Structure formats: structure tokens, C-alpha cells
A and B are shown apart, each in its own frame.
Chain A
Amino acid sequence: MNQRTIQVDALESEAIYIFREVVAQFEKPVLLFSGGKDSITLVRLAQKAFYPAKIPFPLMHIDTGHNFPETIEFRDRLAKELGVELIVRDVQDNIDSGRVKEETGRYASRNMLQTETLLDAIEEFGFDACIGGARRDEEKARAKERIFSVRDDFGQWDEKNQRPEVFDMLNGRIDLGQNVRVFPISNWTELDVWSYIEQEKIEIPSIYFAHKRKIFVRDGMIWSADDEVVYRDEEEVVEERMVRFRTVGDMSCTAAVLSDAVDISKVVEEIRDSSISERGARIDDKRSEAAMEKRKQQGYF
């Protein structure tokens, strides 16, 4: 018999506790999966929470159609390995049917359009809890978010009237039509996530590591020139550099950073020494000081 003692790390223990509360308190939870490092970390935590049973809820990806191909390939493979149902809903469908209008021009992004597709999917499947990988350290409106965050039929976040969350008691009682957004890694920092990926040897999409890519520079930010998706003026010069991505959102709003970090230990080192915040490379947050809060009020994740 083994003689080992287990002390689960506080952040990991908290996340597992939250996952179990979701399954106990809700009838139809879903994990919102973007293929990014945060949602991949969530998947590992969900596995740990219910092992040896399978993850007892599906994964859902709201696909802007502008994702990095590496991410999509990774997403499909992971779902298959886990034997978990993967639901994909496409923003393109709403664009085609004319329900939402696509932005054009220099800073055009489909990021905002995800909201409508997400709300439709919640209604279609009757999800009452949507688990996401948002973290409070990402952005200052996120810093105000509860772990169980109640949304109404329109997905709206009533930020001035949030339920108090005391100790680790999570109140998941909702009315019909409401749903809860759940954030199990609320208290993790970017560095915590990377360190966890390193410690657990979790596989992540290759674009997180430094690679050669055709890029162009605009407003001091580095954009991928590999794809049609990112708008580029003719005078913007394309060059090839070693870069990696710190977040893997929609290609049209995710900038790269120059990097030589080709493996996970170098990435952790790089994050530790970084002087730019993670969302500093997300143009969608830079539109105005209140960009994130406004999107959240409208039901954005």
C-alpha cells in the first residue's frame, strides 16, 4: 500500500470544488471551450474533479470562423480523446442570415459577434450554467466578477447588483430563463495557468510557442499576415519573424509577441519577466476604457 500524503494546491482545490458545485447545483451545464490555454486548463481540472467518471457535461465552441487552424485541429482532437461531446456553433451562420452585421476595415473583428451566437446556443440547448476560463487578473472589469455570475434572458450582467459570495458557499439558485456564468479559475493569474500547464504537462496548441510567421506591425502591435482574415493596408510591410501568441482569440484581434520561447519552460520564464499585460495584445479591450464591461453587460463572456 502506498504511504503518500496528498495536499492539493489551494487554487487547484478551489477550482475542483467549483466544478463539483456546478454539477450538483445545475441540470445542464456546459464548458465554453475556445481552444485557448485557459479553457484547456479548465478541461484538465474538470477531468480531475470527476475522475474516474468522464467529464459530465459537453464542451461548446462559439467559432468565429477566424480561429487559428492549429486551434481548431487541437480542439477536435482533445474532445475525441476525452470522449466528451463537442458542440460547435458558428458566428458565420448569423452573418449569413443577416442577424448580425460584420464589421469592416482596419480594426474589424468578429469577437463581438460571438455574443449573439452564444446566447442563441444557450437558448437552443437550455444550458443553465456556462463554465468559462475567465480570470480576474485579466482585466479590471473581470476583477469584479463573481465565481457564480447570474445573467438574465438577454445574457446581461448586472454589475452593480451582484450576489455576495462569502466563504466558499456558491448560490446557484436561478429563475427560469436565467443562467449562470461560472469561473472556476477566477483567482488564477496568467503565470499560475502557465505554471500549471508546465507542471501537469498539458498539451497546448503550437501557436503558443515561438515559431516563424509572416507578420506586419501596426501601432506597435504585431499581426499575423498569414491569413486573409486580418485586414492589412497595402503599405503595411510583411516580414518574417519569430513570434508566439499569448492568447488565442479571434485572429483579427489577437496580436503576437516577438519571442524565442519554443517550449513551456521558456514560456513560463518569459511570462514571469514580462512587462506587458496579457490583454495588452488584445485590440478588442483597447477600444475604450470600459470596453470589457460594456461587452459583458451585453452578454459577452
Chain B
Amino acid sequence: MKVLKIATAGSVDDGKSTLIGRILYDTKSLTDDKLEAIEEKSRQRGFDYLDFSLATDGLVAEREQGITIDVAHIYFSTPSKSFIIADTPGHIEYTRNMVTGASTAQASIVLIDARNGVIEQTYRHFFINNLLRIKDVVIAINKMDLVDFSEEKYNTIKNEIEYLASKSEYKGQNLTFIPMSALQGDNVVHKSENTPWYKGETLMHHLEKLEPEDINDTSQTRFPVQTVIRPKTEEYHDFRGYAGKIYGGDLEIGDEVAVLPSQTKSRIKSINFFDKEYARVKRGSSVTITLEDNVNVSRGDMLVKVDEQPTIAKQLDATICWMDKEPLKASQKYYIKHGVNDAQAKITQLSSLIKTDFSGIEENPSELVLNQIGDIQLKLSKPLAFDAYKNNKSNGSFILINPKTNNTVGVGFIK
């Protein structure tokens, strides 16, 4: 069955966890034992209604504070497809977790509290959705019950977001606006009688219609080699297979390929998956490939079609989202992980801090602190074969790792 990955975003108390709980409840995805647990906990805490956020806030600290700290992944199915929802935190200090949850999502739901309208966090979430180039974005205007299901409120918010979208660099986005009350269930799964002026679909109807697809648009074929398989058995004495996952496009036996960065040329001899061989492999597949010639290929090398070459360089320009308490500063050194390839990287330039409220940039800032986004230039210890993020998401992104702590401290989008 096909899987649709969705991320949620919204400020604290906009009701993300409640919305997910509501979806699970109305699609009958909560099993009896889980539902009973929610009913009992809600009663214990003296709530008047079922607190659906109890279904997803899995950490003690989260339930104590009534907020979501880390991404939770929620799984449910309807007869037509499976869904994975990344329930991401709304707090500003957990923005990095939002990026984590949204990076592999095909669609995103941005919640807005109808009473408060578009606030700073909305700008930030909308900005990150654009930076990640998430294709389908639903603006869920929530808590409509608290503004008497006012069409005027709805339109004000819609106009503001449309204005933001017009200023955004990424134009490929499909925006959908839905007025709802997650708490009471209006327009989540069931159409609301309280919004006769709203002619659109419910949230679930909309999500049901989206066709699950690879977040990487079809582009040029990239095959980063994860590991070399050498069985060293009598039967497979000379077997030398390159194991990896194929991105962007397809490969076929006989295709002429270049091994990057060395540029050695060869042809695809076989495509193996478990104990069978195939003539062709589609993108998204983890397979093992053998080549006609005995060339030197190791982890981190990349196979591409000879006429589809990426950029090979020892420096790159990127937009980076900073995820660490220790700020990013020019001239600092990090490890870079680009797909399955590792190198060392030095920040040669921190050229700008990008304001996530779409108000422009600040040039030559002294540092980027946690959750800030900016443009940088990197010098690399060895050449990497990369694409621009807008052309190939997997080959156009990287992470930076702090060599002292081993923590992942930033995610980069190559220009």
C-alpha cells in the first residue's frame, strides 16, 4: 500500500496534537484500549472533553507541560492509503524538531489559531515549508468554534498567507485553506454544518486525494554507494556488488555510468535484488549493482549516467538551518555528511541571516544561533558530487556534525 507522509506545524496551543487525535478518532484508528486510556486520563485530570493530545504526547515531560517536545510519528490507514503523520513541536525552541519531522514529508499541515491569526511562528513554519519545498500545504484555520465560525476571520488569515506565498521563492506549492475545529471535529473528517459558507473539502478528503510520491521529483539519476558487497565464497568468488539506494531517476543494464568523483567510466552489468536479477531499477529502490569493468568504487562514491553529471567541487554555497545551542560562526570546522558521503568542512563565509518573517536579510551577521537560518559558504576537504536542492532534494542537502560533540548541528540546502 502507498504511504503518504505528512508533517504538522503550528504554534503552542494551536491544537496540533488534538487535531491528530481527532483524525485518529474520526477515522476509527484508535483501538479500544487506547481510547479507554484516553477517556480515563481525561477524566482523572478533570477535563470536560476527551483530550486527544494524550494519544500522541508520548513523553512524561510533554504530558506534564501539555506541550509537544519532540516529533512523534503516527500511523493510520484509510481503505485507500496509509498515512504517516509527523507531529512536530510548536515551541520556538523546538523548531529544529519541526525541520526533522518535515524533511521527508510530501504534505504539511500548518495550524493557525483563528483567534490569534497569523503570528510570528506561522511565518516561520510557512518559511520552513518553503525552504524544504513541500509540495502540498494545508493551512488549517483551527478553533473556528471560538470565533463563531466567522467567514471574515477565515478570509483575513487566508489573504495574509496568500500574500506571504506571493513573496516566497518557491512557486510550486499547492495551498489549501480549511476552517476547522479539531476539538469538536468540524471539517476534519466530517463536513461541518457550522461553516455553510465554506465550499471546500474536509481535511481528510483533501489528504485522501493526494497521490503519494517520492519527495524527490523525477530528475537525473544518482546512485550513492553505501557499501561494497564481496561475499568471498566459492560460488560468488568474483562478485563485487555496489549496494545503494537509487535517487532521481532509473538505471538499466548496459547504461554507461561514471564513477564520481574519479570520472572512471563503465557500464551496468547487473542489477540485483536479493536472489534475483533485473533489467531495470526504479528510483527509490535499495539494490545492488555490478559493473562491466573492474573499477575502483568505494563508499561515498556516486554512480551517475555519463550525460547527467552533477556539480563536482570542493566548495559550495548553501542555506543552513542551525540546530545547536552553540552558535555557528565563520571559520569554524565541522564534519559534513552529504548523503552517505563524509568530509570535513570549514565555514568560509556567513553571508546573511534570513529573516523568517519574509522581511528580508541581515548581511554579514557575526553568528547564527539555534533555529536561525542563513546563507553560508563551505570549503570541503575533498570534492563532493552534489546538485542544487531545488533540482534534487537528496543530493542537494547535507548535515553538519560538531566534531567535539558528534551532534547533528545544522541542515543545509545547496544552492
| A interface residues (Cβ-Cβ under 8 A, vs B) | 1-8, 10-14, 16-17, 20-21, 23-24, 47-54, 136-137, 139-144, 159-160, 162-169, 171, 173-175, 186-187, 189, 191, 274-277, 280, 289-290, 293-294
Knowing A164-B411, A166-B411, say if A13 contacts B99 (CB, 8 Å): no
Residues on the B chain within 8 Å of A142, using CB: 58
Using known A-B contacts A140-B55, A171-B399, determine if residue A7 contacts B70 with beta carbons closer than 8 Å. no
Kindly list 17 other residue pairs between chains A and B, CB separation below 8 angstroms, not including A6-B287, A167-B393: A4-B280, A5-B280, A6-B271, A6-B278, A6-B281, A16-B245, A17-B226, A17-B245, A17-B286, A20-B244, A24-B340, A137-B75, A162-B70, A169-B339, A171-B399, A173-B406, A276-B32
Contact check, B284 vs A8: say whether CB atoms are below 8 A apart.
yes
A223 to B148 Cα, complex, angstroms: 53
**When A and B form their complex, which 3 residue pairs have the shortest distance between CB atoms, in order from nearest?**
A140-B58, A8-B285, A16-B286
| Contact present for B279 and A8 (CB under 8 Å) | no
Does B332 touch A at the CB level, under 8 Å? no
Residues of B within 8 Å of A10, CB to CB, are 3, 284
Please report the C-alpha to C-alpha distance between residue A274 and residue B337 in the assembled complex, in whole angstroms.
42
> In whole Å, how far is B9's beta carbon from the nearest beta carbon of chain A?
15
By a CB distance below 8 angstroms, the chain B residues around A293 are 58-60
A4 touches B286 (CB 8 A): no
A62 to B284, CA, bound (A): 35
- Tell me if B356 counts as interface (CB < 8 A to partner A): no
In the bound complex, do residue A7 and residue B285 qualify as a contact, i.e. CB atoms below 8 Å apart?
yes
Contact A6 B280, CB 8 Å, known A173-B335, A174-B406: yes
Q: B273 near A: Cβ within 8 Å?
A: yes
Residue of B nearest to A187 (CB): B84
Given the contacts A4-B279, A54-B231, A168-B394, A159 and B59 also touching, CB distance less than 8 Å: yes
B31 and A280 contact, CB distance less than 8 A: yes
Known pairs A167-B397, A169-B399; A48 contacts B323 (CB<8 A): no
Most buried by B among A6, A140, A141, A280: A6
Which residue of the partner chain A has the closest CB to B252? A5
Considering the complex, which residues of chain B in the window 272-319 have a beta carbon less than 8 Å from any beta carbon of chain A?
Answer: 272-282, 284-288, 299
A51-B275 in contact (CB<8A): yes
- What's the minimum C-beta distance from B324 to chain A, rounded to whole angstroms? 9
A-B contacts, 6 listed (Cβ < 8 Å)? A14-B286, A17-B286, A142-B58, A171-B406, A173-B401, A189-B82
Are B33 and A166 in contact, with the CB atoms below 8 A?
no
- Judge whether A166 and B285 touch: CB under 8 Å: no
- In the complex the two chains form, is B70's CB within 8 Å of A52's CB? no
Interface string of B19-38 (1 = CB under 8 A from A): 00000000000011110010
Tell me how far the C-beta of A49 lies from the nearest C-beta in chain B, rounded to whole angstroms: 7
Nearest A residue (CB) for B281: A6
Pair A143/B337 contact, Cβ less than 8 Å:
no
Please tell me if the beta carbons of B75 and A277 are within 8 angstroms of each other in the complex: no
- Give the docked Cα–Cα distance between A10 and B2 (Å): 8
A107 nearest CB across to chain B (Å): 17
Complex CA gap A145/B163 in Å reads 37
How far apart are the CA atoms of A186 and B71 in the complex, in Å? 13
Rounded to whole Å, the gap between the CB of B32 and the closest CB of chain A is 5
- On whether A189 and B75 interact (CB within 8 A), knowing A2-B279, A167-B104, the answer reads yes
A11–B285 Cα distance when bound, in Å, is 10
Alpha-carbon distance A81/B57, docked complex (angstroms): 42
Chain B interface SS verdict (over half):
mixed
Q: Please tell me which one of the listed residues A8, A53, A144, A160 contacts residue B72 in the complex, with CB atoms under 8 A apart.
A: A144
Instruction: Find chain B residues with CB under 8 A from A159 CB.
Output: 59, 70
Residues of B close to A276: CB separation below 8 A: 31-33
Cβ of A12: which chain B residues have Cβ within 8 Å of it? 286
Chain B residue nearest to A191 (CB atoms) is B77
| Interface status of B385 (Cβ within 8 A of chain A) | no
Residues of B within 8 A of A3 (CB): 279
In the complex, A153 Cα to B115 Cα: how many Å? Answer: 48
CB distance from A265 to the nearest CB of B (A): 16
The answer to whether A5 and B282 touch across the interface, beta carbons within 8 angstroms, is: yes
The answer on a CB contact under 8 Å between B41 and A289 is yes
| Chain A residues in 8 Å Cβ range of B229 | 50-53
B99 close to A164 (CB less than 8 A): yes
Would you call B97 an interface residue if the criterion is a C-beta within 8 Å of the partner chain's C-beta atoms?
A: yes
Partner of B74, one of A17, A143, A167: A143
Complex Cα spacing A50 to B41, Å: 46
A11 to B212, CA, bound (A): 13
- B68 to A, closest residue via Cβ: A144
Which of B139-147, B235-243, B259-267 lies at the interface? B235-243
Bound form: Cα–Cα A189–B73 in Å: 11
Partner of A136, one of B59, B73, B271: B73
Q: How far is the CA of A1 from the CA of B41 in the complex (A)?
A: 62
With both chains docked as a complex, state the minimum distance between the C-beta of A285 and any C-beta of chain B, in angstroms: 10
Decide if B75 touches A163 in the complex (CB within 8 Å): no
Tell me the bound Cα distance from A218 to B282 in angstroms.
52
**Chain B residue nearest to A47 in the complex (CB):** B274
Please indicate which of the listed interface residues A5, A7, A23, A166 has the most CB atoms of chain B within 10 Å of its own CB. A166
Instruction: Establish whether residues A171 and B401, one from each chain, have CB atoms under 8 Å apart when the complex forms.
Output: yes
